Amino acid sequence: MSKIEIKNFNLYYGNFHALKDISISIEEKRITAMIGPSGCGKSTLLRSINRINDTIEGVKTEGEVNIEGVNIYNDNVDVDFLRRNVGMVFQRPNPFPISIYENVAFGLRVNRIASSKEIIDETVEKSLKSVLLWDNMKDKLHKSALTLTLEQQQRLCIARGIAVAPHIILLDEPCSSLDPVATREIEELMIRLKDDYTIVIVTHNMQQAARISQDTAFMLLGKLIEFSKTDKIFTNPSKKETDDYVSGRFG
Amino acid sequence: MIKLNPKLSQKLSYTLLFMATMLAIIPVLVIIFFIVKNGASSISWEFLTSMPRNGMRAGGILPAIVGTFSIVVCAIIITLPIGVCAAIYLNEYAKDNLLTRIIKLAIVNLAGVPSVVYGLFGLGIFVMFLKLGVSIIAGALTLSIMELPVIITTAKGALNSVPQSFREASLSLGVTRWQTIRYVVLPNALPGILTGAILSIARISGETAPILFTVAVFYVPNLPNSIFDQVMTLPYHLYIVSTQIPNMPKNVIYGTTLVLMMMVLTMSFVAIFGRAYFRKHRKW
Ligand SMILES: Nc1ncnc2c1ncn2[C@@H]1O[C@H](COP(=O)(O)OP(=O)(O)OP(=O)(O)O)[C@@H](O)[C@H]1O
Ligand SMILES: [Mg+2]
């Protein structure tokens, strides 16, 4: 069974039909990339997987998004619990303006997942280790998160998400505000995380998709044009639009 | 048309803009200078802490200070929680529908209603209909009604300036909407809400019309014992000593003015420095 199975999914912003009949199956413990020109609906699709689009007024959806066989758009789904299982990292690093430690502990505390200091300490350490921030930061845990570099902030945001133990991580152009060196670092981190999490990443950068992902979805104007192994999308796509896009003829 | 040389026109426009700024602040400075010059001599410990004597012509203004202070404190205790709750509702929960738009329009327009209208309204509702009489609570409620739209507007602005990305970050951790407001939005908005509140206090401390019919009296021999007592207030006392009593020594008038002005200015400065401090040292 696929980890995430989207079936005939449509999304409207008011009258604007942003996602048109999308069907896609995303496999567990792989990196799936979503590429396509600006405005094609990549972020919208990604944000449908943890229902964060619900917070935008006037959004309507049709169809299904199944995670482990359960349609998350069912009425009886606990959206907050869903979001705990499906973490999200945003385009601009958005740590809270509190200490590094408190950022990672935030979800644990507020969701009352853990209250004992030992467990929180332990989870903070484990989360920071898994994003390779621990060695540098273990003595500065109580400094403000805003003192970090952008790359470190983005790592911290990933750690903050990991701390509440999701099994899926959605990333929306996580490297677009970073320089090339920092981008490579975050890419390596994602490749490491793939062994434990199912990762879906939206990217503008086709080289990035080619470097890190196993599967790639190509979208255009709200439609899913092609979805298959990354190698195939970049070397031998079956649709003409995909070929035009990946070879740089438009977009 | 004469074309000025660009250097000259640059200089000229700079001068004009600078003069306009000066024109705006000079009258204020002149007023402050005069009040301080004429009032400073009458400020003394006795003036601040004793009752008026000799038909207000001597003694102190303690009851007016205490009166203004108690009305304003009551008013802010009433408005702040209600105003913040309403602002949270409007900014975080209200759907953009007809009702919401009417409420928002009403709030904007209520802030423009002349304060004497609130005074008469307070007289009708609180003093007479609810039989609270002329009292601190009636005055405080009147000021609350008047100040509520302002508090809602500033609190809403403070909430609105909390970046959407913080809300999304919190929600994406599985934190509920209310918890997000409680632990992310409110702490970030708090400095803005508090400065708005302090500026409101400063503003209502000087209001005369709303308290004229609802709480202020010419003279009371005692300090208030409860919120159902009448009190003297600084703005009304100032009106009385400047117009209603013959042979009033000028320094009493200027002294009273100075006290009122210092009270308002101090609060404004506290608000400004408080905001700067919060910005620098914010935990949030
Ligand atoms: N809140 C919104 N209200 C109305 N329309 C929206 C909203 N958000 C996005 N859209 C529209 O939906 C379409 C898809 O937007 P989306 O952000 O998903 O594109 P994207 O592929 O992520 O683009 P980009 O690469 O620029 O991030 C766009 O045409 C956009 O204008
Ligand atoms: Mg996008």
pLDDT single digits (tens) A113-147: 888 889 999 999 999 998 888 988 889 899 999 99
Residues A144-168, mean pLDDT to the nearest whole number: 92
Cβ contact (<8 Å) for A52 and B167?
no
Q: Which of B187, B191, B236 is nearest to B211 (CA)?
A: B236
- B281 has pLDDT over 70: no
Residue B20 placed within a domain: no
Report how far apart, in Å, the C-alpha atoms of B267 and of each of B1, B18, B204, B205, B258 are: 52, 28, 11, 10, 14
Residue B134 placed within a domain: yes
- pLDDT tens, position by position, B100-140: 999 989 988 888 889 999 999 999 999 999 999 889 999 99
CB-based contact, A65 to chain B, within 8 Å: no
- A242 has pLDDT over 60: yes
**CATH code, domain carrying B211:** 1.10.3720.10
**Of the partner residues A83, A92, A96, the one whose CB lies closest to the CB of residue B174:** A83
Residue A63 placed within a domain: no
Q: What is the C-alpha separation between B52 and B47, in angstroms, rounded?
A: 9
> Are A49 and A168 contacting, i.e. CB atoms less than 8 angstroms apart?
yes
Residue B51 placed within a domain: no
Residue in B with minimal Cα distance to A163: B173
Q: How confident is the model at residue B276 (pLDDT cuts 50, 70, 90)?
A: confident
Residue B50 placed within a domain: no
Structure tokens at B128: 């007479």
pLDDT at A178: 85
Residue B75 placed within a domain: yes
Q: How confident is the model at residue B280 (pLDDT cuts 50, 70, 90)?
A: confident
pLDDT at B282: 61
Q: How confident is the model at residue B1 (pLDDT cuts 50, 70, 90)?
A: low
Residues B184-196, mean pLDDT to the nearest whole number: 91
Place of tokens 């306009």: B20
- pLDDT tens, position by position, B132-187: 988 999 999 999 999 999 999 999 999 999 999 999 999 999 999 999 999 999 99
- ipTM, two decimals, is 0.91
pLDDT at A229: 93
Single-letter code of the amino acid located at B169:
A
The number of beta carbons lying within 10 Å of the beta carbon of residue A75 is 5
CB-based contact, A82 to chain B, within 8 Å: yes
Residues A66-73, mean pLDDT to the nearest whole number: 92
Residue A72 placed within a domain: no
Place of tokens 């309403």: B86
Report the predicted TM-score, pTM, of the whole model to 2 decimal places.
Answer: 0.85
CB-based contact, B284 to chain A, within 8 Å: yes
Q: What is the C-alpha separation between B277 and B273, in angstroms, rounded?
A: 6
- Considering A7-16, B1-10, B241-250, the range whose residues carry the highest mean pLDDT is A7-16
For testing the chain A interface, which of B168, B170, B172, B181 should be mutated: the one with the most A CBs within 10 Å? B172
Q: What is the C-alpha separation between A91 and B39, in angstroms, rounded?
A: 59
pLDDT at A130: 86
Structure tokens at A44: 């919208």
Looking at the CA of A171, name the nearest ligand.
2
Give the residue with greater pLDDT, A196 vs B248: A196
Alpha helices in chain B (DSSP H): 6-39, 45-49, 62-88, 98-110, 115-122, 136-160, 164-171, 177-180, 186-205, 209-212, 234-243, 250-281
SS3 state at B95: coil
Domain count across chain A: 1
Domain count across chain B: 1
Residues A215-224, mean pLDDT to the nearest whole number: 94
Structure tokens at A71: 């349609």
Q: Which of B212, B208, B211, B162 is nearest to B182 (CA)?
A: B162
Report how far apart, in Å, the C-alpha atoms of A19 and of each of A4, A62, A112 are: 17, 10, 36
pLDDT at B60: 83
- A251 has pLDDT over 70: no
Residues A13-39, mean pLDDT to the nearest whole number: 93
Question: Which residues span the domain enclosing A187?
Answer: 29-50+79-246
In chain A, residues 163-222 whose CB comes closer than 8 Å to chain B:
164
- pLDDT tens, position by position, B35-83: 999 888 888 888 888 888 887 777 888 899 999 989 999 999 999 999 9
The number of beta carbons lying within 10 Å of the beta carbon of residue A71 is 14
Question: Which residues span the domain enclosing B156?
Answer: 60-281
pLDDT, mean over chain B: 89
Single-letter code of the amino acid located at B188:
N
What's CA B38's distance to the chain center, in Å?
25
Residue B227 placed within a domain: yes
Cβ contact (<8 Å) for B175 and A107?
yes
Residues linked to residue A99 through DSSP beta bridges, in sequence order? A144
**CATH code, domain carrying A89:** 3.40.50.300
pLDDT at B283: 53
SS3 state at A172: strand
